[in-house]
């Protein structure tokens, strides 16, 4: 996924960014609402992690503005405000989840995965495509009953395919899953990772549509 992190505390921001990146997601980290607004104007995000108390405003106002404008991307609030009234206000403003600081980073990862599954219309973390069985919650894959080990980057790319089996994904769509904003992108990165996935999942698992992109095949191999 492509994740926008809005957090002005350096230490926490770094820890959350690294955790989400280790989970295989591309993370853009900004520290003000102004930068957050600019980011969503230029980039399509799958999830926003939003602090409430920021140097240039309050997260609730930012969130209400997003929802009023019809912006439906899921939002998880990260805040030290732990009163029940604060949680209710956040959820009523349009948040999908509310995590109180300090929190365990593994719990954050689990909540990110759960919210993403709900928005994709599949609360069940288990998906089957062809001879592949995929557990989205635990990041596990088996092929014909045999476990397949993927690196974090390989998983990030594969996750894009598994949520859109049979659908064509362009190079730029796949690059967005691997790279945060401003990161240097090597010209053959997608080809390299697609080749690695084919070696592990079967050479016919991912088809190349010349000049357009790639798609995950859905037939039994």
Tokens of 2: 């492509």
- For residue 180, the model assigns a pLDDT of 62
Higher pLDDT: 55 or 2? It is: 55
Q: Is 221 within the bounds of a domain?
A: no
Note whether 41 and 24 are same-domain residues: yes
- 8 A C-beta contact, residue 130 and residue 218: yes
Whether the per-residue pLDDT at 220 is higher than 50: the answer is no
* Predicted TM-score (pTM) of this structure: 0.67
Q: Phi and psi for 5 in degrees, rounded to 5?
A: -105, 120
Same domain? 62 vs 147: no
Number of domains in the chain: 2
Question: Which residue stretches of 23-129 are H helix?
Answer: 33-42, 59-68, 84-93, 105-119
Domain boundary among 120, 136, 156: 120
169 and 211 together in one domain: yes
The predicted pLDDT at position 35 comes to 96
Q: Which domain holds residue 131?
A: 127-216
Q: What pLDDT sits at residue 75?
A: 95
100: domain CATH number? Answer: 3.40.50.2300
The per-residue pLDDT for range 19-42, each reduced to its tens digit, is 998 888 889 999 999 999 999 988
Look at residue 139 and tell me whether its pLDDT is greater than 90: no
- Whether residues 106 and 171 fall in one domain: no
The answer to whether position 37 is within a domain reads yes
pLDDT of residue 17: 95
Averaged confidence pLDDT in the chain: 88
């Amino acid at each position: 996924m492509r994740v926008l992190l809005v957090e002005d505390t350096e230490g926490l921001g770094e820890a959350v960014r690294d955790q989400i990146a280790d989970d295989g997601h591309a993370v853009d980290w900004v520290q003000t609402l102004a930068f957050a607004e600019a980011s969503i104007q230029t980039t399509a995000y799958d999830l926003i992690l939003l602090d409430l108390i920021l140097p240039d405003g309050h997260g609730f106002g930012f969130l209400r503005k997003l929802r009023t404008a019809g912006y439906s991307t899921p939002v998880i609030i990260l805040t030290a405000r732990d009163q029940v009234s604060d949680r209710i206000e956040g959820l009523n403003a349009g948040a999908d989840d509310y995590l109180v600081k300090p929190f365990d980073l593994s719990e954050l990862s689990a909540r990110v995965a759960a919210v993403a599954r709900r928005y994709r219309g599949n609360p069940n973390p288990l998906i089957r495509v062809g001879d592949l069985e995929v557990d989205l919650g635990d990041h596990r894959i088996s092929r014909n009953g045999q476990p397949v080990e993927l690196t974090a980057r390989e998983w990030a790319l594969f996750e894009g395919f598994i949520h859109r089996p049979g659908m064509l994904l362009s190079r730029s769509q796949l690059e967005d899953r691997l790279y945060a904003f401003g990161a240097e992108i090597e010209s053959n990165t997608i080809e390299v990772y697609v080749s690695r996935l084919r070696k592990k999942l079967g050479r016919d698992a991912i088809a190349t549509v010349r000049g357009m992109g790639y798609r995950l095949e859905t037939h039994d191999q």
